[in-house]
């Protein structure tokens, strides 16, 4: 059974790194990369062998509902692939980037704890343990945001911790109400018991969870912490926060709880569409006014999460396909954009677009891959972002949500506008850049190239035949709603 190793491997790696690492970070790098590479192989194997099946791991030989269980289905396997793929490229980028900070081995220990928490949230079938793993990931994230030890980073980490504490309190309150109402913490059992409980309990808990997990996923108006945290963190951590953390702790939890436990109540699907639309438009306008490149990317993340939430709110099979596909695509192109921003900051010592210039000749890999990522996030063909956004827009039209379709189109145009600004000033400016503080390492370039290639290759997932093997099983798990109960309990 693969499931326990998804959690054991990164946790053991974090322990070993603190045990054997000295002043140099060589052992920490080796252990981290071996651990994450193993996790990615396991995740890919589980994804391509799971199909429409659901596998359960019950701790200590006890049976549900008396045990803590881990659940592997197409949705959890899909998310594990995304988390560990981005983690591997992030480690590749980190090797030389993090050496500008003191005690780099600590970074790798915290990084592995971050992976432990995210993998645990995705794999667990117990709602209280989802909360526990979420806190493990968040405590590591707070420390990593502040890793540079600058005043700006401490302030961002403090704000992140305060907002994270509020959201965690709300989530724990919701878990307590569910336990009081159903006398179980196993999510499948909760879903079964809620069918016999007063529906008002479901609506109250769902409202609490929407606020709590809305803060984790940074949808508007729960977004205040994200621009500071994502712009202040080291570049590879910004990519992890934006690419996978807000999805594992926020979007994934929303999907699992609202669809598989609550059965997708219509009123909350409407709220998803409204909040998603607000996030798309308002965050895009805020991004237009930014001159700090990483802050622009942070607001862009809020906008792109809005597209995912809009697809989930529309709730048709096609819309959920678009949302699922955009979860993958956003993880790839937004992580790449943060790597580009980190490379430029390392080379020039600034994130201010007005202080950058023409980097085509001096930094061809960074400039070229940033253009690919820009075309992807803006939704231009043949890049992956085009297809997921187009699917969501078509789904909105088919469901007679014309206003939401128009909002998605406007959001895509605004995205193109602020990324044209970023390209115009940051990478193709008038000032020719010839002097650099530090050169970009092979590991950093490799991470950028891998994700740039994936921006194109993952477009193939939408082809019939490939889609049936990759995206459709994930959509089936979400669309089946309370079929999750039968999958876990009716084995």
Contact 338, 451 (CB under 8 A): no
pLDDT bin (cut points 50, 70, 90) of residue 302 is very high
Give CA–CA dist 112/271, Å, rounded: 35
Report the Cα 51 to chain-centroid distance in Å: 22
Three-class SS state of 292:
strand
Contact 285, 361 (CB under 8 A): no
Residues 6+ apart with CB under 8 A from 214: 167, 222, 250, 254, 275
pLDDT at 489 over 80: no
Among 119-133, 282-296, 357-371, 385-399, the minimum mean pLDDT is found in 357-371
Average pLDDT (148-161) is: 83
Contact 332, 455 (CB under 8 A): yes
Give CA–CA dist 299/487, Å, rounded: 38
Average pLDDT (301-327) is: 94
Contact 301, 334 (CB under 8 A): yes
Phi, psi of 224 (to 5 degrees): -55, -30
Contact 333, 459 (CB under 8 A): no
Torsion over CA: 457, 458, 462, 467 (sign): positive
Residues 6+ apart with CB under 8 A from 450: 89, 92
pLDDT at 105: 81
Identify the residue whose tokens are 């359960």. 56
Q: Which residues pair with 124 in a beta bridge?
A: 70
pLDDT bin (cut points 50, 70, 90) of residue 22 is low
| Burial degree of 291 (CB within 10 A; 0-12, 13-18, 19+) | middle
Percent of the chain topping pLDDT 90: 52
pLDDT at 160: 87
pLDDT in tens, 225-253: 888 887 888 889 988 988 888 888 889 99
Residues 6+ apart with CB under 8 A from 385: 326, 329, 330, 333, 375, 376, 377, 378, 379, 455
pLDDT at 491 over 70: no
pLDDT in tens, 395-436: 999 999 999 999 999 999 999 998 999 888 888 877 777 677
Asked if residue 477 has a cis previous peptide bond (ω within 30° of 0), the answer is no
Does the pTM of the predicted model rise above 0.75? yes
And the tokens for 307?
A: 């597209």
And the tokens for 245?
A: 């953390």
Percent of the chain topping pLDDT 70: 99
Average pLDDT (300-314) is: 93
pLDDT at 106: 86
Q: Per the structure, how many domains does the chain have? A: 1
Average pLDDT (372-384) is: 90
Torsion over CA: 421, 424, 427, 432 (sign): negative
Average pLDDT (351-365) is: 82
Contact 324, 78 (CB under 8 A): yes
Average pLDDT (51-64) is: 81
pLDDT at 200 over 80: yes
What is the domain extent for residue 467?
3-489
Report the chain's mean pLDDT, rounded to a whole number: 89
Contact 163, 115 (CB under 8 A): no
């Amino acid at each position: 059974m693969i499931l326990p190793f998804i959690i054991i491997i990164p946790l053991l790696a974090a322990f070993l790194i603190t045990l054997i690492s000295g002043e140099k970070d060589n052992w920490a790098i080796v252990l981290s990369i071996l651990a994450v590479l193993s996790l990615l192989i396991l995740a890919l194997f589980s994804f391509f062998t799971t199909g429409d099946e659901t596998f359960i791991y019950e701790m200590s030989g006890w049976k549900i509902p008396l045990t803590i269980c881990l659940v592997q289905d197409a949705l959890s396997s899909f998310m594990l692939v995304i988390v560990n793929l981005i983690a591997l490229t992030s480690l590749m980028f980190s090797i030389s980037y993090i050496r500008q900070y003191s005690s780099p081995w600590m970074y790798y220990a915290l990084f592995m704890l971050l992976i432990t928490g995210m993998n645990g949230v995705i794999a667990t079938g117990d709602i209280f343990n989802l909360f526990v793993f979420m806190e493990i990931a968040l405590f590591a994230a707070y420390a990593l945001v502040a890793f540079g030890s600058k005043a700006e980073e401490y302030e961002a980490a403090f704000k992140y911790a305060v907002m994270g504490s509020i959201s965690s309190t709300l989530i724990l309150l919701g878990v307590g109400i569910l336990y009081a109402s159903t006398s179980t913490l196993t999510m499948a059992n909760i879903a079964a018991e809620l069918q016999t409980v007063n529906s008002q309990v479901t609506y109250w808990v769902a409202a609490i969870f929407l606020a709590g997990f809305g803060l984790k996923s940074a949808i508007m108006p729960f977004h205040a912490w994200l621009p500071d945290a994502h712009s202040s963190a080291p570049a590879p951590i910004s990519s992890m926060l934006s690419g996978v953390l807000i999805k594992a702790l926020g979007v994934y939890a929303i999907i699992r709880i609202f669809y598989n436990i609550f059965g997708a109540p219509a009123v909350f699907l409407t709220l998803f569409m409204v909040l998603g639309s607000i996030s798309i438009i308002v965050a895009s306008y805020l991004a237009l006014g930014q001159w700090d490149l990483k802050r622009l990317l942070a607001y862009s993340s809020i906008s792109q999460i809005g597209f995912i939430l809009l697809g989930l709110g529309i709730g048709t099979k096609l819309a959920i396909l678009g949302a699922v596909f955009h979860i993958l695509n956003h993880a790839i192109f937004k992580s790449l954009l943060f790597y580009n921003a980190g490379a430029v900051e390392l080379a020039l010592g600034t994130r201010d677009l007005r202080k950058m210039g023409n980097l085509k000749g001096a930094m061809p890999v960074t400039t070229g891959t940033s253009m690919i990522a820009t075309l992807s996030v803006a939704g231009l063909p043949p890049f992956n972002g085009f297809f997921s956004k187009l699917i969501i827009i078509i789904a909105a039209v088919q469901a007679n949500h014309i206003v939401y379709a128009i909002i998605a189109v406007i959001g895509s145009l605004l995205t193109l506008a602020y990324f044209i600004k970023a390209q115009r000033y940051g990478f193709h400016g008038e000032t020719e850049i010839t002097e650099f503080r530090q050169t970009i390492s092979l590991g950093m370039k490799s991470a950028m190239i891998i994700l740039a290639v994936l921006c194109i290759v993952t477009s193939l997932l939408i082809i019939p035949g490939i889609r049936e093997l990759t995206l459709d099983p994930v959509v089936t798990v979400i669309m089946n709603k309370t079929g999750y109960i039968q999958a876990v309990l009716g084995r």
